[in-house]
Structure 1
């Protein structure tokens, strides 16, 4: 299969854990979320977002970020996502969340490696047998020194450690130009909020449909 991955994250890779988050401190959790689908079906999640904009009267030329969503918006997104996954069981939506306060100090020195490790734990076993995998990510939100380093890491792991032939390609994109990234931004934020802010309602609604991993808990 030729697959497409939409990828985004919520939280940050900062380590100011001695101050409150949103008041000088860093987030206590970082979540990376993804949607994996056949490349022939990558417009389905985008259509879900277009339908959302139409239903709630948003200007499709102005990106709606997860922080702008109200309760009824999230209720709709959860219901629409579950319906999409039931219709397309080959789709995979998942997320990995790290509890940063438990990350060893020497690992904190290089956020690239932690980010890459999280990516590997999340994606490799799910894409290693695909013919190709195109990863579309928000080029404004990847908070590491080199965004392409995570793609290089995945490719190295797949070819040399897993001995598979899947070809991984990077597609950094401004989220305002790709509705698929906007979709996974919303889902990732709901997962992250369940950890960071204890807003667990939407996470609980979707949890049976999601592939969830935790790191350093």
Structure 2
């Protein structure tokens, strides 16, 4: 997947069509990422092709090539949007509050971050093929692996910082980075169990379990 889209186009004899000009560039880019996400969700990594994405988005090869230099680059953006969009928004908001010294109780910040993991956008059976495809690709794709490491570390770091803030305010000694890692692993495991068999637990029970692993060390958050 490291070949550029333009090279793929040349090899297949594809011709570039005129680029659309009605939508703002950022909106066009988002549209392509959404179309690529749908292709991956329906067909796995085998369905993540230039032709399929162009058909799904109703665009030309030339347009998709203008915004993404390779399928790897587009796949990374799908990963960011699918798994970390809301989390990154939370991280940026938390950093802004700290920089501006906004008096937001650390318990509220931590509780909101915990809840975000169980929002229907993420904790959804419809995401099973999408997430499994991305996780499998991370193991062998260096570009996606690097993006995963960056995003995961940023997420785990923010979660650990929120955990430490609550623990510190309450005079508790907690290994925040380890607790953050364990929480993330718990969420992934609960989501997978629920996707495979919905009788095992409910999303509400999964959220409760997420709170419990944190609360066991920092105290009540709800």
Assess same fold via TM > 0.5: no
* TM-score, normalization by structure 1: 0.27
More helix by share: 2
More strand by share: 1
* Structure of higher CA gyration radius: 2
* TM-score, normalization by structure 2: 0.27
Bigger relative contact order, structure 1 or 2 (CA pairs below 8 A, ≥6 apart): 1
